[in-house]
Amino acid sequence: MRILLVEDEPQIAVDVKTALEAEGYLVESVSDGEEAWFLGDTEEYDLIVLDLGLPTMDGLVVLKSWRNAGRQIPVLVLTARGTWAERVEGIDAGADDYLPKPFRMEELLARVRALIRRSGGHAVDTIEAGALSIDMRQMRVSKSGVPQALSPLEYRLVAYLAHNKDRVVPAVEILVHLYGDDDRHEANALEAVVTRLRKKLGPKSIETRRGFGYRIADATTGTAD
């Protein structure tokens, strides 16, 4: 899962980035409104955490222009602007959730999890796919109830496929959500991770659709391990 963090207070930015990375997210952090607008407009993220008081372009303006351009990425707004009128303004501008400063990191993480979960249409933190159970809260994968030892990268791939289990996910999209826009990583690096995962989780746990992408095996979508 790839998150864009937009926050101009250096200490908050570092704290939030560290906490999100510890939860297994890939985080890109920017402190400037215009740069945030550009990235949110052109890059693919699973979630954006957006402060409102920003240099060069106000967060609300940034959010409105994303929404006007049809960008549907879930946005969690962070702000010191605490009055009810300002919160209403944020939600009207297209925020999916709103967290007033100061906040507890646990609350931010819970809201991030909930927003990402809902964007995939999942009502609970644990996603079932075939024999696998992916606990997005504990960052744990079990197969038939048995916990599996995965590297952070392997976990991120399984979690991303499980989050999108109703479709075949193109390799290019997976690379972006796994590594960001670092183009040193190529499709054969991804195939290597998939091969390791099949050894750990079962040969049919992840399907390759040649020329299309990857899909996690799931009884409810017509495939099973």
**Contacts with Ca ion, residue ranges (CB under 5 A):** 8, 51, 53
Residue number with CB closer to Ca ion (54 or 175):
54
**Cβ 8 to Ca ion shortest distance, Å:** 5
**Inter-CA distances, 2 with 82, 144, 192, Å:** 28, 28, 20
CB contact at 8 A, 8 and 31: yes
| Residue number of the CB atom closest to Ca ion | 53
**Cβ 128 to Ca ion shortest distance, Å:** 40
**Cβ 50 to Ca ion shortest distance, Å:** 10
**Inter-CA distances, 140 with 25, 124, 137, 143, 215, Å:** 14, 14, 8, 10, 19
Residue number with CB closer to Ca ion (11 or 188):
11
Residue number with CB closer to Ca ion (35 or 173):
35
**Cβ 192 to Ca ion shortest distance, Å:** 41
Nearest to 33 by CA among 45, 13, 21, 50: 50
Residue number with CB closer to Ca ion (8 or 128):
8
CB contact at 8 A, 23 and 32: no
Residue number with CB closer to Ca ion (56 or 151):
56
**Cβ 76 to Ca ion shortest distance, Å:** 14
Hey, how many other C-beta atoms are within 10 angstroms of the C-beta on 151? 12
**Cβ 130 to Ca ion shortest distance, Å:** 44
Residue number with CB closer to Ca ion (36 or 193):
36
Q: Give the whole-angstrom CA distance, residue 160 versus residue 91.
A: 27
Tokens of 56: 């060069």
- How long is the chain? 225
